[in-house]
Amino acid sequence: MTATTSLSPIPVAPAGLTRRAKRFVEVEGVRVPQQGIRRHRYAWIERGIPAVEIDRAAVFQDRWGGLALPPAPFYESGPRILEAGVPEGSAGEGWWIPAGDGRVSMAYGFMIGPGGEFGIHGPRWAPLHASTDGWVESLALAAHVRRWAKTITRVTGKAVDSLNFDGYEQVPEVQGLTDTWWRGADSLTALYRGEAVGLDAPQALEAHVYGGLDEWGLHGG
Q: Are residues 121 and 45 in the same domain?
A: yes
User: Tens digits of per-residue pLDDT, 60-107?
Assistant: 999 999 999 999 999 999 999 999 999 999 988 999 999 999 999 899
Count other C-beta atoms under 10 Å from residue 13's C-beta.
19
Q: Are residues 160 and 130 in the same domain?
A: no
**Amino acid type, 51:** A
Model pTM?
A: 0.94
Q: Are residues 96 and 200 in the same domain?
A: no
pLDDT score for 48: 94
Q: Are residues 188 and 130 in the same domain?
A: no
Asked whether residue 9 is assigned to any structural domain, the reply reads no
User: Tens digits of per-residue pLDDT, 6-38?
Assistant: 567 889 999 999 999 999 999 999 999 887 888
pLDDT score for 9: 87
Task: Note down the domain range covering 202.
Answer: 148-219
CB 182 within 8 A of CB 168: yes
Q: Are residues 110 and 54 in the same domain?
A: yes
pLDDT score for 70: 97
Asked whether residue 179 is assigned to any structural domain, the reply reads yes
Domain boundary among 135, 168, 191: 135
Asked whether residue 214 is assigned to any structural domain, the reply reads yes
Number of domains into which the chain is organized = 2
Domain boundary among 92, 108, 135: 135
Q: Are residues 123 and 160 in the same domain?
A: no
Among the listed residues 116, 104, 115, 111, the one whose alpha carbon sits nearest the alpha carbon of residue 85: 111
User: Tens digits of per-residue pLDDT, 45-56?
Assistant: 999 999 999 999
Does position 158 have pLDDT exceeding 80, yes or no? yes
Q: pLDDT-based confidence at 5, cuts 50/70/90?
A: very low
pLDDT score for 81: 97
Q: Are residues 96 and 173 in the same domain?
A: no
Q: Are residues 115 and 25 in the same domain?
A: yes
Asked whether residue 8 is assigned to any structural domain, the reply reads no
Q: Across the strands, what pairs with 120?
A: 110, 126
User: Tens digits of per-residue pLDDT, 118-152?
Assistant: 999 999 999 999 999 999 999 999 999 999 999 99
d(CA 72, CA 100): 14
pLDDT score for 84: 96
User: Tens digits of per-residue pLDDT, 185-220?
Assistant: 999 999 999 999 999 999 999 999 999 999 999 998
Q: Are residues 74 and 129 in the same domain?
A: yes
Asked whether residue 143 is assigned to any structural domain, the reply reads no
Identify the sign of the CA torsion 21, 24, 29, 31.
Answer: positive
Q: Any idea what DSSP says for residue 64?
A: H
Q: Are residues 57 and 118 in the same domain?
A: yes
Q: Are residues 72 and 115 in the same domain?
A: yes
Q: DSSP characters for 10-44?
A: S--PPTT--HHHHHIIIII-EE-----SGGGHHHH
Asked whether residue 191 is assigned to any structural domain, the reply reads yes
Q: Are residues 108 and 211 in the same domain?
A: no
